[in-house]
A and B are shown apart, each in its own frame.
Chain A
Amino acid sequence: MPTTKPRTALETEIIELLSGKNQRGITLLYEHYSPALYNIILRIVQSEEIAEETLQDSFLKIWDNFSKYDPEKGRLFTWMVRICRNLAIDKIRSSQFKKGNRTESIPDSVYNSDSLSEELNTSDPGLRKVISKMDDKTRVLIELLYFKDYTQREVSDALDIPLGTVKSRSRKAIQVLRQVLGNEGFLSAIFITMFETIKRYFGS
């Protein structure tokens, strides 16, 4: 787990660069976030070719629309994930018009846990540590909601759980995740707040 402090400094730098239309902002953004974003896109579009294209489009959209990002409303990463996810969904919608419904074509691969076993076999020790601490239910729920971008109804259908409980279960799952990520996650929030305050205080 990388320390949160430099990442926040990096975020601030990226936001400043992109606000000033400095292309170095793209490079920094790409170096640090492209693997995570590429993964999220790939989980949705399930084709490396389309994922590559979507990633390119996403970065261009981030570059073009950066003035619309409001740091007060949320984290940069959350905003970027939203852009990537929307573009990925647009891509599969336009290509799957011919192939059929998304919900029908995906669930098996999720539940049969190709990706889960991949996760478990990952060489990344940090991820191994985190995943080993999570139960299957939590993992699958986060997989569907976050990586596959299932709606509550789709989750309810796929996991055969009542629609009314999806919300509370997803909260539970994310709380487990937060616990697993440990106090580091909590601490990082404090760090971020402190860092931002200091930075603002000294005037960046």
Chain B
Amino acid sequence: MIEIFGISLQAMLSQLLLGLVNGSFYAMLSLGLAVIFGLLNVINMAHGAFYMMGAFLAWMGLNYFGLNYWVMLITAPLLAGVFGMVIEKTLLRWLYQLDHLYGLLLTFGITLMLEGLFRSFYGTSGQPYSVPELLAGATNLGFMMLPNYRAWVVVASLVVCFATWFAIEKTKLGAYLRAGTENPKLVEAFGINVPLMVTLTYGFGVALAAFAGVLAAPVIQVSPLMGSDLIIVVFAVVVIGGMGSIMGSIIIGLALGVIEGLTRVFYPELSATVVFIIMVIVLTLRPAGLFGKEK
């Protein structure tokens, strides 16, 4: 058995993988936050609640309608996305002319309502969701056992993250989006339907959060509070990375997940706070964030 600093390689690798899994969630959520913030100028506090909603939709689909994981992996983000678009159309729309803070407060209210709603039906205890059959079990890599599902989470979220990056940075639609971030009035003058673009962007960001939620359902227990604990860490991730760069969000998200995983091996007492400590260090040395451009 190989050991590093008295810790078996096996334990370290499995924590590393767990860190990567968490990092994938951070990456997907902070990516969605950044995209939404770019165009809407709203920090979507409800992002964690939508993540929770995604997980619950998957659970409800299975338990009430017998829809399996793969169906819900597509359906839940779509449903959540539509829900997000309705919220944007009916609620958020009225706040664009006001201070950013009102957007934050409104989405905070939405968070409380969604959490309270799910809590009134399911209580605070977690609901188990089993790993889909196709991905059950583990693969022996020789030096460690690789749980198939965790590997899938990392791969799936990486694919989604890079697809998003590609769509925004390399396609025509993405170009409109980036232009809309810079100067929405001018883009509108060129005949592009900016309000529609805003709605779709919000819907997409919400769908991304719900997708992460479905992926998370078999890894952690589905509970109404799973979102709010995560979203605060994601906020720290966003502060560390700055919201200026899509790729930055992805990399920082993954990196912090890994660092958190390693901390759990070497000094478990700090694992809950390490991301915040890094945030403090970054704020001291580079206030605008690692990838940020502050005006």
Is chain B a partner of chain A in the same complex? no
